Every structure is written in structure tokens, then in C-alpha cells.
Amino acid sequence: MNRKKIVAGNWKMNTLYSDAIALAGNILAKTSAFKDIEKIIFPPFPFINDVAILLQSQPGFYTGAQNCSSFEKGAFTGEVSAPMLKSIGANYVLIGHSERRAYFKEDAKTLSLKIEQAFQAGLNVVYCFGEALAERKSGVHQRIVKTQLQEILSVMPQDKISDLVLAYEPVWAIGTGETATPPQAQDMHAFVRNCLVELFNKEVAEQIPILYGGSCNARNARELFNCPDVDGGLIGGASLNADEFSEIVKSF
Ligand code: PEP
């Protein structure tokens, strides 16, 4: 099965305007030759429009938001809706990142509402999930991940499956410098694909890209991307450096 290969950069709450535009331009210059790899950049909200303008006519490049509101519009001061994001050129939105779950207490109900909003607005979704260190140590990591998939994907409209990307991000590997080993990543990605067979069917399971995220960098990306069920990476810290990010794009 020829699944999409994707390298996505989550800039989190980093960069000021001029840094963001320069970084996007450098990433574009260094990776545009790699047309078969989908590159998705997730800048902070205020820079999405300008990054999208820079990338929108470039084959294989997409722009995304790191979050969206669970409401469509109205009196929700400070929120940013999925239709607003779509209207400024966003193609994707990240939902369920562990930092949103931990610091902003986003639970399964909130995440399903956000996914519904995103799909209704015509955005593609990168749904993030993964276990905490204590959960891995106590051997319940697969059960945790299965629950995180079931509670979201069982309510997902079947006709939106092709707009969905998954990102397995063990919480203990995010921003810690500790990466899952390739066997750990492959085991979990294969397990996730089996969950997709149970939730949907084999054909759908084979089609959905599953990215690995958690201290992925230019030194470990090749081994991780070589795993049969790892279809690319969601990159945090290393996406803030155009050289490093472009090396990761070249790691397939
Ligand atoms: C992330 O935030 O999604 C992430 C994977 O971060 P890092 O690469 O810095 O671990």
C-alpha cells in the first residue's frame, strides 16, 4: 500500500513574525525538491495566513493550525474557530496534542467536538495520542492508546477518513530528548493499525498515515521512518531549524 509520507513541523508557541516567515521560506527552499513527501507546517495562529500564502501554490506543502475551537462561532472570547482557520488558508489542524490535553484539560468530549468542527469546515485533522511514562512502565500503553483512538474515531464520519492523519506521540518522548526506539515505535504503530482494522476495515487501516512524534530529529528519523508502519513524523523542537527539518524530510 502506497500511503502518503508526511513530515509535519509543530512550531508550538515559538517564533516572532519575522522568524516565522524566514523559517517557512528556508524550509520551502531546502525541501521543495522532495515532492513525494508532504510537508505540513503548524505555525502559531497569528502567522498562519502569511505562511499559507507562501506555501499554498507549492506542490506538497500545507499549512496547519495547532488548535481550533470546539465551537463554530459566537461569544467565546479569545477562541479561534475552524472556519476562520480555513478562511485564512489553513489546510490542517492538530487535535489532541498532549500539551493541550495536559495544560488545557482537553478531554475526549472536547476533542470530538473539535474534530467535528474541523471536518465541517473542510480542514484535515492530525489527531495526536500517546501514553504517559507511568502508563508505559506499568505495561498499559496499548490499552491507553486503544481508548484514545476508540473514543474519537468511533464517532468519526466514514466519508472523512481520507482527511485524517494519526500521530502517535508517547508523552515521555515529547521535548525530552528521549525517543521511542524503532522497535517500540513499530510495535505501537502496528497495534494502532490493527485498532483501525477493528474500528473500520483493512482497506481503511492501510490508507491512514500514522506519524511518529517525540524527539524525532535528523539523527534518528531514518531508522524510525524505515519501520513499515511509520509513515513520517510530527516534529516539535527540530522543526524550528530549517536545516534539521530538511534533513528529516530527506530521511525516507
Ligand atoms: C511535538 O510537540 O509534537 C513533538 C513531537 O515535540 P518534540 O519533537 O520536540 O519532542
Per-residue pLDDT tens for 223-242?
Answer: 999 999 999 999 999 999 99
pLDDT of residue 39: 98
CA-closest residue to ligand 1 atom 2: 236
Give the per-residue pLDDT at 1: 66
Q: With a 6 A CB cut-off, is 236 part of the ligand 1 pocket?
A: yes
Q: What is the pTM (predicted TM-score) of this model?
A: 0.97
Band of the pLDDT at 155, cuts 50, 70, 90? confident
Query: Rounded to the nearest whole angstrom, what is the distance from the C-alpha of residue 33 to the centroid of ligand 1?
Result: 25
| Ordered structural domains, the chain, with CATH | 5-240 (3.20.20.70)
What digits encode the pLDDT tens for the residues 58-90? 999 999 999 999 999 999 999 999 999 999 999
Per-residue model confidence as pLDDT tens digits over 175-184: 898 899 999 9
| Catalytic residue list contains 169 | yes
- For the chain, what percent of residues have pLDDT higher than 90? 94
The pLDDT confidence band at residue 156, using thresholds 50, 70 and 90, is confident
DSSP readout, the chain? --PPEEEEEE-TT---HHHHHHHHHHHHHHHTT-TTEEEEEE--GGGHHHHHHHHTTSTTEEEEES---SSSSSS-TT---HHHHHHTT--EEEE--HHHHHHS---HHHHHHHHHHHHHHT-EEEEEE---HHHHHTT-HHHHHHHHHHHHHTTS-GGGGGGEEEEE--GGGTTTS----HHHHHHHHHHHHHHHHHHS-HHHHHHS-EEEESS--TTTHHHHHTSTT--EEEESGGGGSHHHHHHHHTT-
Q: Which residue has the cell 502567522?
A: 47
Q: Which of 38, 169, 189, 247 is catalytic?
A: 169
Whether 97 is catalytic is: yes
Q: Decide: 180 in ligand 1 pocket, CB within 6 A.
A: no
Question: Is residue 136 a contact partner of residue 97, using CB atoms and an 8 Å limit?
Answer: no
Probe residue for ligand 1, chosen from 169, 171, 179, 251 as the CB with the greatest number of ligand atoms within 8 Å: 169
Query: Which residue in 97, 106, 116, 247 is the catalytic one?
Result: 97
Per residue in 91-139, pLDDT (tens digit) is 999 999 999 999 999 999 999 999 999 999 999 999 999 999 999 999 9
Q: Are the C-beta atoms of 128 and 169 separated by less than 8 Å? A: yes
